[in-house]
Amino acid sequence: MITYSEAVKILADYGQEHILRYYDELSEEEKNELLRQIELTDLSVLEDFKHRNDEPGKRGSFEPLDAVTVDDIEKNRNEYLKAGIEAIKAGKAAAVMLAGGQGTRLGFDSPKGMFNIGESRELCIFQCQINNLLDVVKLTGTFILLYIMTSEKNNDETTAFFEKNNYFGYDSSYVKFFIQDMAPSVDLNGKILMESRSKMALSPNGNGGWFSSIVRAGFLNEIHEKGIEWINVFAVDNVLQRIADPMFIGAVISSGMQSGSKVVKKASPDERVGVLCLENGKPSIVEYYEMTEEMRTLTNESGELSYKFGVILNYLFNVSKAVEILNNKLPIHIAKKKIPYMNDKGVLVSPDEANGYKFETLVLDMIHMQDSCLSYEVVRNREFAPVKNAIGTDSVESARELLKQNGVKL
């Protein structure tokens, strides 16, 4: 562990000496806890904060990317299904559930997957997802290795919940948890917030680090030994998420492409979803706020939106490529959020307004590191029911409605 004077030096480099303000008053144990935290936290993200008001990095030139549409997929159903089932049976596919987020918009204190979406019975989000995965187990006769990314904030509660609920009927030997990295949260002036006198306020560093965190957790050997070639990465908060979907896996394999992304037709030009397209000839996701009015409304000869396919956070990555780009730096996204912090009187406060920034890398930025990506259209009402907010758009209400439409008893 680093010494006090080493910690002073590290912090001075980033103008964060206030972290040690209470050091002399701390117990030996608390002192060590703080020094360890300083040693393990990657403060280099603070460099990005300095440049947050710079002109955004210039993006390349965009072009639409065609998708295999729902109709195309139907025509090739037998071929895709066969290829996907074969890959799953041969143990070539695994899945990674991204469940390290804090779900601040939903305002639920426990991990989002524990949220009960049922009405007359208990049906939590984790169970909805595992039920969908069990459909694939039934079809293929094969359990699929499921890695679950948690954060230090929610790991214990998540793992205990899976234990208590008997892994929702999944074979527990196929479920592995790993913990993602944390990043410091700063106030509006870029000073790291404190959670207590001996702890910086840290938050999960976004879903972009899923592969490096899996590697650090020591699972790469297992992935290689088991011959896993494809990893399906998906968000925990879509209750209609189809996981390790054999058709999707089969379509990507048959296409010979390096990766795949499920997409849906945008509901309107202004829908707030990232769009899968080409940037300088390579696959890329452009966020809704990065699109110009012209891009948003451009139409093709058939009168349809040219940039019409939005991503739903369900990707298929190739393991060899993920290893190759493991050390490539992903861009840091700086998000203004409400961050609980210790005030000058030493009291922990939960602010009502956004009071600082969090630093995140995003899995969608991995798409631009791929040579190719199959854009795979799915039927929106069957596969996309995100739970982001308590009410309104992408909410508990809208997700319940969609679950019912799909025959799930609530």
Residues that bind ligand UTP (CB under 6 A): 98-105, 112, 149, 180, 204-207, 235-237, 360, 388
Within 13 Å of residue 188, how many CA atoms lie on the same side as its CB?
4
**CB nearer ligand UTP, residue 99 or residue 223:** 99
**CB nearer ligand UTP, residue 236 or residue 251:** 236
How far, in Å, are 200, 301, 369 from residue 281 at the CA level? 42, 21, 12
Minimum distance, C-beta of residue 244 to ligand UTP, in the bound complex (Å): 16
**CB nearer ligand UTP, residue 140 or residue 207:** 207
**CB nearer ligand UTP, residue 140 or residue 213:** 213
Name which of 328, 80, 317, 46 is nearest 202 in CA terms.
Answer: 46
Minimum distance, C-beta of residue 100 to ligand UTP, in the bound complex (Å): 3
| Interatomic CA distance for residues 390 and 112, integer angstroms | 12
| Interatomic CA distance for residues 146 and 388, integer angstroms | 23
| Interatomic CA distance for residues 83 and 251, integer angstroms | 8
Minimum distance, C-beta of residue 132 to ligand UTP, in the bound complex (Å): 15
Q: CA-CA-CA-CA torsion for 398, 403, 409, 410, nearest 10 degrees?
A: -30
Residue nearest to ligand UTP (CB): 101
| Interatomic CA distance for residues 337 and 37, integer angstroms | 22
Minimum distance, C-beta of residue 99 to ligand UTP, in the bound complex (Å): 5
**CB nearer ligand UTP, residue 209 or residue 260:** 209
**CB nearer ligand UTP, residue 306 or residue 361:** 361
Minimum distance, C-beta of residue 98 to ligand UTP, in the bound complex (Å): 4
**CB nearer ligand UTP, residue 255 or residue 389:** 389
Name which of 269, 267, 248 is nearest 257 in CA terms.
Answer: 248
**Residue 230 CB contacts under 8 Å (≥ 6 apart), including other chains:** 87, 92, 93, 94, 249, 252, 253, 316, 317, 318, 319
Minimum distance, C-beta of residue 408 to ligand UTP, in the bound complex (Å): 19
**CB nearer ligand UTP, residue 90 or residue 160:** 160
| Interatomic CA distance for residues 410 and 404, integer angstroms | 7
**CB nearer ligand UTP, residue 65 or residue 182:** 182
* Residue 296 φ/ψ, nearest 5 degrees: -60, -35
| Interatomic CA distance for residues 15 and 9, integer angstroms | 10
Structure tokens at 196: 């207590």
Minimum distance, C-beta of residue 140 to ligand UTP, in the bound complex (Å): 25
Minimum distance, C-beta of residue 96 to ligand UTP, in the bound complex (Å): 9
**CB nearer ligand UTP, residue 296 or residue 337:** 337
Given the DSSP bridges, would you call strands 348-349 and 341-342 parallel, antiparallel or unpaired? antiparallel
Minimum distance, C-beta of residue 1 to ligand UTP, in the bound complex (Å): 26
For the chain, give percent helix, strand, coil, nearest 5.
35, 25, 40
Amino acid identity, position 155: N
**CB nearer ligand UTP, residue 1 or residue 40:** 40
Minimum distance, C-beta of residue 103 to ligand UTP, in the bound complex (Å): 5
DSSP structural state of residue 290? G
* Residue 38 φ/ψ, nearest 5 degrees: -65, -40
Minimum distance, C-beta of residue 69 to ligand UTP, in the bound complex (Å): 26
Question: How many CB atoms are closer than 10 A to CB 77?
Answer: 12
Is residue 288 helix, strand or coil? helix
| H-only helix segments in 258-346 | 293-297, 319-324
Is residue 166 helix, strand or coil? helix
